[in-house]
Structures are given as C-alpha cells and as structure tokens.
Amino acid sequence: MVFKKQLIKMSKWTKEKCHEEALKYNNRTDFRKNSRGAYNYSYNNNILDDVCSHMNTKKCKPMNYWNKINCKYIALKYINICDFRENDNVAYVTSCRKKWLNDITKHMDLSTNNKDRCIYIYEFEDNKVYIGLTYNFKRRHAKHMKDIDSVVFKNKDKIINFYQLTDYINVDIAKEKEQYYIDLYKQNYNVLNKQKGGGIGSNILYWTKERCKEEALKYSNITDFYKKSYSAYQSIIKNNWKVDTCSHIPETRKPRGYWTKEKCHEEALKYKYRNKFKINSRSAYTKAQKNKWLDEMCSHMN
C-alpha cells in the first residue's frame, strides 16, 4: 500500500504539468525554491531546458573569457566610464586589475566636469534632508541605492520623497546653488550633508592610498571589504595598491592544483547535501564534477 501511494505521488508531474508550473516563474532559482517537485522531475528527466525556455538565464562565462579583446568589445558599447562600470562591472574590474582601462576606454568621454548639473534633494523622516549635485539624476539615485557608504543608503528606509530642485544648469552656477540650498534648508531641517556643497570630484579622487589603507584595516577578508566599501576597493585595484594596503588580509584563493581527489573528498564530508557542497565550496565541487568524482564524493549525502 505504501509503495502504491509513492508511485501515485511520483507520477503527479508530467512534462506538460511541469511546463505549466514553470510558466509561473521568471528564473530557475524561484522555480526550484517554490516548486521543488516539478523542478526535480524536470531535472531528472532531462526536460529542464525545455520547460524553462521562457526564463531569463545568465550563463557563466568560460574561464579566461575576460581577456583584453573581450573587455574592449564590451567597453565599446558605452560612451562614458560610469555606464561601463555600472552595467558591465566584471569587465570593468578586470580591466582595472590588468591595467587595460586607459587603453580600452580611449573612445569614451572620460571627463564629466564640464557637463551641466542639477541640484536634487532627499527628504527623510525626523525632518532630515540630503542635498546633492549630479549630471545625471537617474543614475545618481541608482548609485545611492547601491552604495552602502552613502548617507542616503543608510537612511533609505526613512525616505519620504526625492526629486530635482533645479533643471540642468551650468556647472559653476550649480556648485553655488548647491551650497545655497544647503544653507537654506539648515534653517528649518537637519541637513545630512557631511561635506561642503559644490564638490564635483569622484569617489576615486577621494580614496587616496592612505585612506584606502585605513579603510582596509577594518576588514579581515576581501569579500567584506569589496561589499562594504566598494569605492575604496575599486581605487586599490585601479592603482595597484593591493600589496601595500591589504597585506593583513589572508589570501583565500587556493593555489593551482590544490584540489586533489583526497582534498575534494575531505571537503565533501563537511556537507549532507550536494546543494550545500556546491554553494559553499564551488571550487572543490567543480573539480570533482569535472573529473567525474562527484558521485563518489557525495555517496554519504542525502
């Protein structure tokens, strides 16, 4: 009787039903999390690509894909460095690290100092405001929402409203206007600006070698440093200061040839499920998969 019930349960999912279920989701991650039965049936029966054909899937680039030619090809899509950095960050960071950036961005408008600017404002709870200056309000807002060092990001849950105070005007006039609005709002509001108005320099100019070193000392691993102080980390990579500023942070990348069969097996024993193994130790998992050791390594798992 128990066997019969299991058989009925196993036969619930057909290819048509799996496809119908998959149409509820835009990506495979949500499909797997919210409908594991349909996902597993599709995976086990080699129909996953068919039922997920409507989804947005991002394929990983092969190893060593980001060479100078491919980075330049990507860079040619953009007319300024800001767009390049924000939309194709991997190519941008690789170009900085390999010192290709100046070479592959010669076609770009690298200077934005002569562009018109607008003044914008964020209004927060508790009678607080932040006033800023930018040549692209939409892009600046998106950056505020990502930059964890930004005053706006730190108070994003308290935002009541944000909008432009002026049209795009001459940069010299805009610099004066920003300070004018800061002084004006200080009469009735708590203004969160830490620096004097009128500055148009970038974060990269702010992050000198000494400031980067001081910032790096707050972190014990590169991942936290990258996530929590992105601007400082970018300046270090671009200027090749990593040896001088991050010498206290241990190197986490394993040397070439580290993942032998024995090491992969030792690593796999830490986990009860393949998914955990894959997520937490991707290098060992990939090595085992490539060498067809995976079933042997995971024989103890559920």
How high is the pLDDT of residue 11? 52
Q: What residues have CB less than 8 Å from 142, skipping those under 6 apart?
A: 86
> Residue 38 is which amino acid?
A
Is the Cα dihedral 156, 159, 164, 166 positive or negative? Answer: negative
pTM exceeding 0.75: no
More confident residue, 153 or 223: 153
The DSSP bridge pattern shows strands 118-124 and 128-134 to be: antiparallel
Please name every residue paired with 132 in a beta bridge, in sequence order, or none if there are none. Answer: 120
Please name every residue paired with 131 in a beta bridge, in sequence order, or none if there are none. Answer: 121
Closest CA to 93 of 205, 239, 234, 241: 234
SS3 163: strand
Please state, rounded to an integer, the average pLDDT across all residues of the chain.
81
Region 209-225: mean pLDDT is 85
Region 217-234: mean pLDDT is 79
Nearest-angstrom CA–CA distance, 247 and 235: 16
SS3 38: helix
Closest CA to 191 of 166, 164, 155, 144: 155
Question: Poorest-confidence range of 145-154, 183-192, 195-204, 236-245?
Answer: 195-204
How high is the pLDDT of residue 253? 65
Please name every residue paired with 164 in a beta bridge, in sequence order, or none if there are none. Answer: 120
What residue ranges define each of the domains in the chain, with the CATH number in brackets? 2-51 (no CATH), 118-191 (3.40.1440), 203-245 (no CATH), 261-297 (no CATH)
Q: What residues have CB less than 8 Å from 232, skipping those under 6 apart?
A: 207, 211, 212, 215, 216, 225
The model's pLDDT over 83-108, given as tens digits with 9 standing for 90+, comes to: 787 778 888 888 888 888 888 888 77
The model's pLDDT over 138-180, given as tens digits with 9 standing for 90+, comes to: 888 888 888 777 889 889 899 999 999 998 888 788 888 888 9
3-state helix, strand, coil in the chain (%, to 5): 50, 10, 40
| C-beta neighbour count of 271 within 10 angstroms | 19
Closest CA to 47 of 17, 73, 67, 71: 17
Nearest-angstrom CA–CA distance, 255 and 241: 22
Cα 81 from chain centre = 17
